Amino acid sequence: MTSRFFATGDTSSSESETEYSEESYASGDESSEAESNEEGKGTGLQVGERLARYLRDSDSEEGEEKRVVRSAKTKQQEALVSIIQQLKNHIKISDWISIQSDFDALNRQLTKYYRLDALNDTKKEPPKAYISAIVLLEDFLNKTAENKDKKLSKTNTKAFNAVKQRLKKNNREWEEQIRKFRESGAVPGEDLFDEAEGESSGVDEEQKGETDEESWDDSGVESSEDLEEKPPTSGGSQWLLKTGRKSSQAVVSQKEKKKSKSQAVQQQSTQSLKDSTDSVPAMASKDFGIPEDLPESAVDQKLVEIIATRGRKGTSKRESLLQLELLLKAAKNLVQEMEILFQIISTHFDMIPAAVGFMSPDNWRNCVQCIEKILNLAFEHETQVRFVVHYPSTEALDVSVPLRGSSEEKPNSTEDLSEAKVSLDKEDKRKIVRGDLATVLERIDDDLFRAWQGTDAYLPEYVERLKDEFILLKLLSRAQTYFEKEGELERAARIACRRIQHLYYKPDELLVGMIQSSLQNTRKQHEQSREEGDNQDWVSLDPVLSGLVYQEEVEDDSFRLPIPELPIVQRPLKGEQALLRLAVLVYRYGHESLKSIVILCQIYHHALENRFYEARDMLLMSHLQESIGMLELPLQILFNRAMAQLGLCAFRHGLAQETLYCLQELCTPVHTGLGSSTVARLRELLAQGIVQQRGHEKSVEQERLERNYQIPYHMYLPVDFIEMAHLIAAMVIEVPSLTRAEAQNEAPQKRKIYSRVFQHFLRNSIRQAYPSPPENTRDYIMSASRAFIRGHWKEAYHYIASIRAWESVDTNWTQSTLPIWRNIIQMESLRTFIHSYASYFDSLSVKFLSEWFELSPSRVHSLISKMIMNEELQASWDQPSGCVLMKRWEPNRLQSLCLQLTEKCNQLIDYNERLLDARSGGQTLKTEEREELLKSASHWATNAAGMKKSNAESWLKNRTAAS
Amino acid sequence: MEYDLTRYIGEHLDRHMVFPLLEFLHAQGIYDEQDILKEKYQLLQKTNMIDFAADVYRQLTGNDPPPELMERRDKVVFALKTLSLECERILKVIEDDELVNKLKEERNFHLNYLQEHYEITAEDLEALFDYARFQYDCGNYAATCKYLSNYLQLQTHSERHLSALWGRLASNILMQEWDAALEDMMQVRDAIDTQGRFALNPLQQLQHRTWLIHWSLFVFFNHPTGRNGIIDLFFQDKYLNTIQTNCPHILRYLTSAVITNSKRRHMLKELVKIVQQESHAYRDPITEFVECLYVNYDFEGAQDLLQKCETTLKHDFFLIGTLEEFLENARLFVFEIYCRIHQVIDLNMLAAKLNMDRESAERWIVNLIRNARLDAKVDSQASQVIMGVKTPSVYEQIVDSTKGLIIRTQVLGQNIQIPFDLEEPSSTVTKSRGSTTDSSWDKRLGPSRRNLMIS
């Protein structure tokens, strides 16, 4: 009862003498509505007093009569009505000064009314009376403006102009309602009493069928309000409520049918909507009491309410979702509808179970449908806007203002939609909806990504979720088109970046396959629907087509995918072209980090499509390899993927050196134990599965991070194959260089190391006395290398060809790549053979070599010539006989001794220099070390023959220890 | 024509410079004459050389030129007059050679002085530039050159400085004043690299360098010392980058310059590297020849390619003059490499390889031996060439390895004279020890693309 008391006190106070102070208070509080304008104040002040007295009188009478039964709200309504009555009276005598103050009072009343509602958390009512009042005022204003000849007094004119201006401003945001009000045919200023009465009594005579229903529902609202206290009085209202909803649903779905371009999806959507509503128990749905024909301001009110409950304890998200869905049907205008849709989406996001981290497929699809609806609306509205002059063409989706007088609510709703702008600028004539479509799309994309991460790749669910990608792609492409049209290129770039991330890892063949299979599906569907008498162009219905295709006119038909089923114009662009077009958008308008992503995607795709040089040049020009270590994790993963793919591309081209460079870092384990963790390391770097390492515990945080960045299964790169490619490339480079170094007696330290990993493996493998038959990839390659060293290239090739990893990739790859590598192995083994065995021959004929290695004689000739030129081989050709003659030259005893001596001299100087260097370089050696050094030096000096290498090494160690 | 580069080169040339190329193609007769005339006419349409255009039109169609051409002619004449009126004051001074000389002697030939004494303002100077530009369009290169020289002398700091330099270079090229053109070229080169108020951004620099590379072809292949110049300029890092990124077809000219220039033999190794690197982007018989010879050591392939080179060179505007030289040098290259890896060579085979008959091949080789460029003997009876076998000389080895010892010991001695307790670091003997790891990717895969940013 106390609250009721306060409420009444509040209402009456607004009409008391303290009005002026109230006004100033109000003007501070309500920024937009009761904009106090300076001159209005001055005039309003003197008349205000008189008026207020008048008001109080009339009100007290009314109040006396009805106070007993009415709630605080009705009270307000009455106050409103009384003000309107006053207004009408003043209008009759065209007393503009009074009208002005009436108008102020009206607005004040309205804000109070809203505030009260928000605070008390009660159901809201539409300020129908208010609307009717302002319509009345407007009409009168227009009338007065028309017959200007009728003179007004000076003060009156002043007030008239003030009212005119303010009303104009004020009415702008009520435009929709006013229009509706006018359409409903109600007489402004007349029906307010009736309506007020109608609301209390539940009978409405003047309003037609539509409004009739509304009043029924309104009664339902009221009854539901205090359901606990008193049971619903009329069973009929419940019944009405339900039928009303169903019929309207039918209407909605019909409308949607008209609207929707892709009918199949839409049907699904209505179906699921129905499902969701059906699933709700009848009681529950009634509980929310949201009728379809809720007046528009009430819808807003309701929305605010629901938003306000968001995140509070004890609110069921599911419930609010249902509420929103019901509210959606009640939405009156575009802004409302969009806002509610945005709310539904964010509620969906709220409902993500924390344990799983992503939405259920159904929810996800609902979300997508909501976005689609928003997009549809946006597209439609865009055309609508052309007709209406008042709205400039930008019906921006992400600007805001719709919730009048509830600015304090705003942070609540915007916390989610991070980019929502609040532009309260009234001069901005754009109709405004809060919520950033691009962000929402990005979130939904992320969610799908997480769903892929979180779903077991071997379950059918995974495949289902994969199919969702098409829907998303389609949506993204539409959104991009929209943003491009609207000139919001920065957003379009964001969307384009997302699209690229969906496209880049798909080879053209896969795209063709996908499109073809989906064409078949749609064709089937189409045939079915044709039986049902629906004859739309089946191509345009196809989800994949519209999603993957970059619909742009290109002159060159070779840019398009070869899909014979489609006419040339409808064929989608090849992946490269599509990527290029999207990428250009991002490069021009996108953010820096997006650019990095896109360039890596492009590199990846080039590599995927076997364009090695393009990919390489792009990588080199991007300069990413210099700074990649400092960038964020997902980008690093993408970089690793691009590098791996580039390596594979080089491997397919038979570029051993390049393969090695690309893959080396990926395949080198960090830890000193070079052991078994190559693949594990690779997995970790490519984010393909969480790897537990021995003796290296990961923190929870680290593991969580890793888990977040996992790549979904269908994007995996063949890890085994990468390892194999790396090792094979290393083999054909390392083994010849190894044999060469041995043949020329090079010191092991001097040797150039191409792949440390391979050397390590090879050393281990050679150390084995009895090598076992190969089991894993590495074993195979080690066996091959051993055969390789011996010059048995066929055996080596056999080992390599029988590695299982070849099966893990496309057979086309295998078939095209293997012969290349066979050739390389032939050539390199020829080199190896000559290195290792040249010292045992005096001459070798080209014929023999070409037979042995199955290479053409000219090839053998050119290979050996190259070796001679590079001074790898001391030999020369005997052209007439076609033989290569080995040159051997042995120094005699004196000569070799001389050579040794000079070498020692050089060493002596070296040591001396180092000694001096150590002293003068500021890094003095410890005395014992110096002694040791001197000792070793003197030792060397005395035994000219016996300077051991180990001494030098130990010296080096000492040096490093000292420094 | 498969290996005709006119199209690519034309992209980077000034309109006026394309005429010589077209004339050349016309003379070669590998394209349809009508097509070439049509092209020429179209080119001329955009210049102010109306009379020339009318001539070409007559050649093309046999009719009188269309009236609008004549109308344009009047307009051009009118414009020329207006422009010359605008810079009348300055022209008066410049045309007077004596006065200019006098001023120059008195070191008064600068804007301030002229402003005081002849009422010549900066605007006049700019008008002079416009006038020169218009003259150039009309094909009056000599006047352009003169005006621009004066402009450049008077106006030293201006956005148009570079443009004026370009203009003078173009007119010098078109007047075939190669010495002056070479000088201008160097100025342009420096101007591209200058930092300062009117510095170019990297992308512009790249573009300007590309132009310079193409324009310079005229100079290099006509100037007596051009062959050296082209190697020196193009092997600069910046220009090598430009070639690799923007115009790999220039490699043909670079390659042939290296092959025909016996003094820059040492650049060959670098050239081979670049040709190999860019082989995926550009290849023609000339670069392939180098690749074949120095990468694959495929002599027969090289032989075939040499013939292709001949036809290609014949149809190249710039290289036609070097054809003989090229073939001779290429042959020498082949033979040299051949000899280096052979001990015994059959003369008949050699003759076939060298595209000569046996007699002349023998004579050629004997000449080579006589000029002490080859360590070999001819076995006339078996018709073989026997190469002298080089054995590594121990004596040389020992001398080589002990050469540095004296100096090193001297340094040691000097350092040791510094008192023991004086802890001054002597840098002379400090060697850099840290092993450099060449992990950077650029080094391995393509060194010269580093400087290009994607903007």
Is a pLDDT exceeding 50 seen at residue A521? yes
Is a pLDDT exceeding 80 seen at residue A633? yes
Half-sphere exposure of B238 (CA within 13 A, CB side): 15
Range A579-597 burial, b when 16+ CB lie within 10 A, else e: bbebbebbbebbeeebbbb
Q: Which of residues 914-953 of A touch B (CB under 8 A)?
A: 916-917, 919-922
Please report whether residue A524 resides in a domain: no
Which residues on neighbouring strands pair with residue B378, listed in sequence order?
A: B385
Is a pLDDT exceeding 80 seen at residue A377? no
* Model pLDDT, residue A370: 81
Whether residue A497 is found in the same domain as residue A608: no
Q: What is the mean pLDDT of residues A491-510?
A: 84
Its sign, for the CA torsion A312, A315, A318, A319, is negative
Q: Among A398-402, A815-819, B106-110, name the most confident range.
A: A815-819
Is a pLDDT exceeding 70 seen at residue A709? yes
Q: What is the mean pLDDT of residues B334-351?
A: 82
Is a pLDDT exceeding 80 seen at residue A777? yes
Name chain A contacts of B300, Cβ cutoff 8 Å.
858
Residue, of A853 and A243, whose pLDDT is higher? A853
Range A639-654 burial, b when 16+ CB lie within 10 A, else e: bbbbbbbbbbbbbbbb
Contact at CB, B425 and A877, closer than 8 angstroms: no
* Model pLDDT, residue A556: 54
**Residue A625 touches partner B, C-beta closer than 8 Å:** yes
What are the backbone dihedrals phi and psi of residue A811, each rounded to the nearest 5 degrees, phi first? -65, -30
Closest CA to A29 of A583, A405, A396, A348: A405
Contact at CB, B445 and A920, closer than 8 angstroms: no
Please report whether residue A920 resides in a domain: yes
Rounded CA separation A213/A758 (Å): 82
The residue type of A175 is: E
Residue, of A693 and B330, whose pLDDT is higher? B330
Q: Which of B297, B341, B440 is nearest residue A876 as measured by Cβ atoms?
A: B341
Contact at CB, B341 and A885, closer than 8 angstroms: no
Q: Which of A623, A880, A885 is nearest residue B384 as measured by Cβ atoms?
A: A880
Three-state secondary structure readout of A84-127: HHHHHHHHHCCCHHHHHHHHHHHHHHHHHHHHHHHHHCCCCCCC
Residues A888-917: tens digit of each pLDDT: 777 788 888 888 888 888 888 888 888 877
Contact at CB, A616 and B340, closer than 8 angstroms: no
At residue A289 the predicted structure's pLDDT band, cuts being 50, 70 and 90, is low
**Nearest-CA distance from B258 to chain A in Å?**
20
Whether residue A655 is found in the same domain as residue A747: no
Is a pLDDT exceeding 50 seen at residue A424? no
Rounded CA separation A93/A836 (Å): 119
Q: Which of A622, A887, A889 is nearest residue B454 as measured by Cβ atoms?
A: A622
Is a pLDDT exceeding 70 seen at residue B447? no
SS3 call for B452? coil
What are the backbone dihedrals phi and psi of residue A845, each rounded to the nearest 5 degrees, phi first? -95, 145
Closest CA to B166 of B316, B7, B16, B23: B16
Whether residue A208 is found in the same domain as residue A291: no
DSSP-assigned letter for residue B146 = H
Contact at CB, A905 and B405, closer than 8 angstroms: yes
Whether residue A713 is found in the same domain as residue A726: no
Write out the residue range of the structural domain in which residue A288 sits. 262-503
**Domain parsing of chain B, residue ranges:** 224-340, 342-408
Please report whether residue A891 resides in a domain: no
- Optimal mutation site among B300, B333, B344, B348, interface A, most CBs of chain A within 10 A: B344
Is a pLDDT exceeding 70 seen at residue B347? yes
Whether residue A693 is found in the same domain as residue A781: no
Residues B20-79: tens digit of each pLDDT: 888 888 888 778 888 888 888 888 878 888 888 888 888 877 777 778 888 888 888 888
Look at strands A883-886 and B342-346 and give their pairing.
unpaired
Whether residue A318 is found in the same domain as residue A447: yes
Contact at CB, A879 and B454, closer than 8 angstroms: no
Enter the tokens of residue A193: 């009493």
Q: What is the mean pLDDT of residues A736-761?
A: 80
* Model pLDDT, residue A186: 57
Q: What is the mean pLDDT of residues A940-958?
A: 42
Residues B171-187: tens digit of each pLDDT: 888 888 888 888 888 88
Contact at CB, A877 and B398, closer than 8 angstroms: no
Residue of B nearest to A627 (CA): B440
Q: What is the mean pLDDT of residues A263-268?
A: 44
- % of chain B at pLDDT higher than 90: 1
Annotate A340-363 with DSSP letters as a single string: HHHHHHHHHHHT--TTT-S--HHH
Is a pLDDT exceeding 80 seen at residue A564? no
Residues A395-408: tens digit of each pLDDT: 333 333 333 333 33
Answer whether A791's CB lies under 8 Å from A816's CB: no
Cα diameter, chain A: 137
Burial of A442 (0-12, 13-18, 19+ CB in 10 A): middle
Please report whether residue A601 resides in a domain: yes
Contact at CB, B342 and A878, closer than 8 angstroms: yes
Contact at CB, A877 and B431, closer than 8 angstroms: no
Whether residue A775 is found in the same domain as residue A631: no
SS3 call for A875? strand
Please report whether residue A847 resides in a domain: no
Distance, C-alpha A704 to centroid of its chain: 20
* Model pLDDT, residue B66: 78
* Model pLDDT, residue A65: 44
Is a pLDDT exceeding 80 seen at residue A867? yes
Is a pLDDT exceeding 50 seen at residue A248? no
Is a pLDDT exceeding 70 seen at residue A620? yes
What are the backbone dihedrals phi and psi of residue A877, each rounded to the nearest 5 degrees, phi first? -85, 145
B342-408: CATH topology: Arc Repressor Mutant, subunit A (1.10.10)
DSSP-assigned letter for residue A187 = P
Q: Which of A877, A919, A920 is nearest residue B341 as measured by Cβ atoms?
A: A877
Q: Which of B391, B398, B426 is nearest residue A920 as measured by Cβ atoms?
A: B426
Q: At what angle do helices B251-260 and B268-277 cross, to 10 degrees?
A: 160
Whether residue A119 is found in the same domain as residue A48: yes
Is a pLDDT exceeding 80 seen at residue A755? yes
The residue type of B152 is: L
Contact at CB, B415 and A916, closer than 8 angstroms: yes
Enter the tokens of residue B78: 């009118």
**Nearest-CA distance from A732 to chain B in Å?**
17
- % of chain B at pLDDT higher than 70: 89
Rounded CA separation A693/A680 (Å): 8
Answer whether A918's CB lies under 8 Å from A925's CB: yes
Contact at CB, A878 and B346, closer than 8 angstroms: no
**Nearest-CA distance from A626 to chain B in Å?**
8
Whether residue A616 is found in the same domain as residue A692: yes
Answer whether A947's CB lies under 8 Å from A904's CB: yes
* Model pLDDT, residue A293: 60
Name chain B contacts of A921, Cβ cutoff 8 Å.
425, 430
Contact at CB, A887 and B280, closer than 8 angstroms: no
User: ipTM of this model?
Assistant: 0.74
- % of chain A at pLDDT higher than 90: 2
Instruction: Quickly count: other Cβ atoms within 10 Å of residue A245's Cβ.
Output: 20
Q: Where are the alpha helices (DSSP H) in A838-892?
A: 846-853, 857-869
**Nearest-CA distance from A825 to chain B in Å?**
17
* Model pLDDT, residue A646: 92
- Among A689, A717, A745, identify where a domain stops: A717
Is a pLDDT exceeding 50 seen at residue A855? yes
Q: What is the mean pLDDT of residues A715-735?
A: 88
**How open is the CA angle B141-B145-B147, to the nearest 5 degrees?**
115
Answer whether A897's CB lies under 8 Å from A922's CB: no
Look at the block and give the residue holding tokens 């010991």: B409
Is a pLDDT exceeding 80 seen at residue A288? no
Is a pLDDT exceeding 70 seen at residue B233? yes
Contact at CB, A891 and B394, closer than 8 angstroms: yes
* Model pLDDT, residue A262: 43
* Model pLDDT, residue A945: 36
Q: What is the mean pLDDT of residues A369-380?
A: 78
* Model pLDDT, residue A295: 67
DSSP-assigned letter for residue B293 = I
Size of interface A-B (CB pairs under 8 A): 118
Residues A89-128: tens digit of each pLDDT: 777 777 777 777 877 777 777 777 666 555 555 445 556 7
* Model pLDDT, residue B121: 77
Residues A8-51: tens digit of each pLDDT: 444 444 444 444 444 444 444 444 343 434 444 444 444 444 44
Please report whether residue A689 resides in a domain: yes
3-state helix, strand, coil in chain A (%, to 5): 70, 0, 30
Contact at CB, B450 and A658, closer than 8 angstroms: no
Whether residue A272 is found in the same domain as residue A293: yes
Q: What is the mean pLDDT of chain A?
A: 68
Residue, of A887 and A152, whose pLDDT is higher? A887
Task: Give how many domains chain A has, as a whole number.
Answer: 5
What are the backbone dihedrals phi and psi of residue A848, each rounded to the nearest 5 degrees, phi first? -60, -50
Closest CA to A107 of A180, A29, A184: A29
* Model pLDDT, residue B50: 80
Is a pLDDT exceeding 50 seen at residue A432? yes
Residue, of A953 and B288, whose pLDDT is higher? B288
Rounded CA separation A16/A52 (Å): 6
Please report whether residue A955 resides in a domain: yes
- % of chain A at pLDDT higher than 70: 58
Instruction: Quickly count: other Cβ atoms within 10 Å of residue B328's Cβ.
Output: 12
Contact at CB, B341 and A869, closer than 8 angstroms: yes
Residues in chain B: 455
- Among A840, A873, A907, identify where a domain stops: A840
Q: What is the dihedral of CA A923, A927, A933, A938, to 10 degrees?
A: 130
SS3 call for B113? helix
Name chain B contacts of A619, Cβ cutoff 8 Å.
441
**Nearest-CA distance from A880 to chain B in Å?**
6
At residue B318 the predicted structure's pLDDT band, cuts being 50, 70 and 90, is confident
Residues A565-604: tens digit of each pLDDT: 666 666 666 777 778 888 888 888 888 888 888 899 999 9
**Nearest-CA distance from B395 to chain A in Å?**
8
Q: Give Cβ neighbours of residue B127 (< 8 Å, ≥ 6 apart).
A: B83, B86, B87, B90
Whether residue A728 is found in the same domain as residue A656: no
**Residue A599 touches partner B, C-beta closer than 8 Å:** yes
* Model pLDDT, residue A649: 92
At residue A562 the predicted structure's pLDDT band, cuts being 50, 70 and 90, is low
Q: Which of B397, B426, B442 is nearest residue A899 as measured by Cβ atoms?
A: B397
- Optimal mutation site among A649, A858, A913, interface B, most CBs of chain B within 10 A: A913
Residue of A nearest to B428 (CA): A917
Closest CA to B269 of B293, B285, B238, B286: B293
Q: Give Cβ neighbours of residue A334 (< 8 Å, ≥ 6 apart).
A: A377, A381, A395, A431, A433
**Residue A862 touches partner B, C-beta closer than 8 Å:** yes
Of A1-5, A900-904, A929-933, the one with minimum mean pLDDT is A1-5
Contact at CB, B424 and A920, closer than 8 angstroms: yes
Answer whether A569's CB lies under 8 Å from A523's CB: no
**Nearest-CA distance from A913 to chain B in Å?**
7
Which residues on neighbouring strands pair with residue A693, listed in sequence order?
A: A696
At residue B111 the predicted structure's pLDDT band, cuts being 50, 70 and 90, is confident
Residues B270-313: tens digit of each pLDDT: 888 888 888 888 888 888 898 888 888 888 888 888 888 888 88
